[in-house]
Amino acid sequence: MKKLNFSTVMLWAGMFFLYAPMFILVIYSFNESKLVTVWAGFSTKWYGELFRDQQILDAVWTSLQVAFYASTMAVILGTMAAFVMTRFARGWGKLTLSNMITAPLVMPEVITGLSLLLLFVHMADLFGWPAERGMLTVWIAHSTFCAAYVAVVVSSRLREIDRSVEEAAQDLGATPFKTFFAITVPMISPALVAGWLLSFSLSLDDLVIASFASGPGATTLPMVVFSSVRMGVSPKINALATLIILIVSLIAFISWYFARRADIKQRSSSA
């Protein structure tokens, strides 16, 4: 079975396809030349330029704030929805809820963005709130679509865990509320962390929905990148991209490492 078969070759070709563009981007971020595609020697000057660009720094801060609050809200909403989807009796209410929560997974972003913007405009008309679109409206929009991803991640974990522990806790007199926080949450905590991280990166990455939902006061990083990229390719963006790739890979490998260690520990204790 050691022979090189078609699917293995495809796997490595596919991996090359996925990673080559990013490597090229990283290499060219150290290019001296202003022309992105002409190599003119090694330089880190674009990183310096990047850290002097106040517009980009402000946008990074806005994006981080929105992503932090949105992923926290998404974990709360998504976990509640996942709980309903897995633990409650089947019924009309449960069906609509699970349809509504998974809909943003596939909905084209322009439709979600457009509909949320029109909602905010209507609400401002009717109750004068939100008076201006900004960070708050982007937060609402991101929480809604990230909750869908959290619900999927958490509900698959909720189905796997041993329910007899929860039942035992309730038999011993714990309230459902207490059972949830003392028993269920620790058991599903890897899924909660994964859902939070996933939401965080989705929110940081979103351009289309943020463009619809935000106002003049709140420009997120993707919006700044998009408008500068539309003007043409810029070496500053290469430097920014390299930093993003670096940070994300670092976080991914750290979380993978801890997940694997927890997995090994669990296996050796149960064996």
Partner 1 sequence: MKKPLKFRLPKGQCWTIGVPYFWLLMFFALPFAIVLKISFSTPIISIPPYEPLFQYAEESLQIMLNLGNYLLILDDSLYYNAYLSSLKMATISTIGCLLIGYPMAYAIARAPKRNQTMLILLVMLPSWTSFLIRVYAWMGILSNNGVINNLLMWTGIISEPLQILNTNTAVYIGIIYSYLPFMILPLYANLSQLDGSLLEAAADLGSRSLNTFWKVTLPLSKGGVIAGSMLVFIPVVGEFVIPELLGGPDSLMIGKILWQEFFNNRDWPVASALAIVMLGLLIIPITLFHRYQAKEMEKTA
Residue 71 or 155: the one with the smaller Cβ distance to partner 1 is 155
CB of 263 to partner 1, least distance (A): 8
Region near partner 1 per CB under 8 A, out of 42-50, 106-114, 127-135, 187-195: 106-114
Query: By C-beta, is 42 or 232 nearer to partner 1?
Result: 232
Secondary structure letter of residue 162 according to DSSP: -
- Judged by CB under 8 A, the residue of 105, 168, 182, 262 near partner 1 is 105
Does position 204 interact with partner 1 (CB under 8 A)? The reply is: yes
Residues β-bridged to residue 31: 42
Decide if 148 contacts 82 (C-beta within 8 A): no
SS (H, E, C) 9-73: HHHHHHHHHHHHHHHHHHHHCCECCCCCCCCCCECCHHHHHHHHCHHHHHHHHHHHHHHHHHHHH
Place of tokens 């089947």: 90
Q: Pick the closer one to partner 1 by CB: 193 or 245.
A: 245
Told to check if 10 binds partner 1 by CB under 8 A, we report: yes
Q: Identify the residue among 33, 44, 55, 115 touching partner 1 (CB under 8 A).
A: 115
Q: Which of residues 42-71 bind partner 1 (CB under 8 A)?
A: none
CA angle 12, 15, 16 (to 5 degrees): 90
Contact of 257 with 97, CB cutoff 8 Å: no
Query: Does residue 262 touch partner 1 according to CB under 8 A?
Result: no
Q: Which residue reads 């620790």 in tokens?
A: 186
CB of 269 to partner 1, least distance (A): 18
Question: Does residue 33 bind partner 1 (CB under 8 A)?
Answer: no
Q: Is 173 left (phi over 0), alpha (psi -120 to 50) or beta?
A: left
* 101 is a contact residue toward partner 1 (CB under 8 A): yes
Which residues, numbered 170-189, are part of the site for partner 1 (CB under 8 A)? 173, 175-178
Span of 43-51, 53-61, 85-93, 186-194 interacting with partner 1 by CB under 8 A: 85-93
Residue numbers 120-179 binding partner 1 by CB under 8 A: 121-122, 125, 140-141, 143-144, 147, 155-156, 159, 173, 175-178
DSSP string, 164-225: HHHHHHHHTT--HHHHIIIIIHHHHHHHHHHHHHHHHHHHHH--HHHHHH--TT---HHHHH
Q: Which two tokens stand for residue 60?
A: 């990074």
Minimum distance between the CB of residue 7 and partner 1, rounded to whole angstroms?
4
